Amino acid sequence: MRALDVGVRAAGRWLVREVSLHVPAGRVCALVGPNGAGKSTLLRAMAGELRTAEGAVFVGGVRLADHEPLALARRRAVLPQHASLSFPFEVREVVEMGRRPFAGLHGAAHERRVLDEVVSSLDLAPLLGRRYPSLSGGERQRVQAGRVLAQVLDATPEQPRWLLLDEPTAAFDLPRVGQLFEAISRPVRDGSLGVLVVVHDLTIAATFADDVALLQGGGLVLHGHARQVLTPEHLEPVFGTRLITLEPEPGRQVVVPLWAAGMPRRGGTEHG
Measured in degrees and rounded to the nearest 5, phi and psi for residue 29 equal -115, 125
pLDDT reported for residue 265: 53
Kindly indicate the confidence band of residue 248, based on its pLDDT and cuts at 50, 70 and 90: confident
pLDDT reported for residue 264: 57
Measured in degrees and rounded to the nearest 5, phi and psi for residue 165 equal -125, 125
- Judge contact between 256 and 236, C-beta under 8 A: no
Q: What is the pLDDT of residues 67-86, one digit of tens each?
A: 999 999 999 999 998 777 77
- Judge contact between 64 and 48, C-beta under 8 A: yes
pLDDT reported for residue 271: 39
Q: Which of 177, 181, 152, 211 is nearest to 27 (CA)?
A: 211
Mean pLDDT lowest for which of 32-41, 82-91, 233-242? 82-91
Reply yes or no on whether the pLDDT at 153 is more than 90. yes
Kindly indicate the confidence band of residue 249, based on its pLDDT and cuts at 50, 70 and 90: confident
Look up the CATH number of domain 2-261: 3.40.50.300
Angle between helices 174-189 and 108-121 (to 10 degrees): 140
Reply yes or no on whether the pLDDT at 23 is more than 70. yes
Reply yes or no on whether the pLDDT at 130 is more than 50. yes
pLDDT reported for residue 83: 75
What is the rounded distance in angstroms from the CA atom of residue 4 to the CA atom of residue 18? 8
Q: Where are the domains of the chain?
A: 2-261
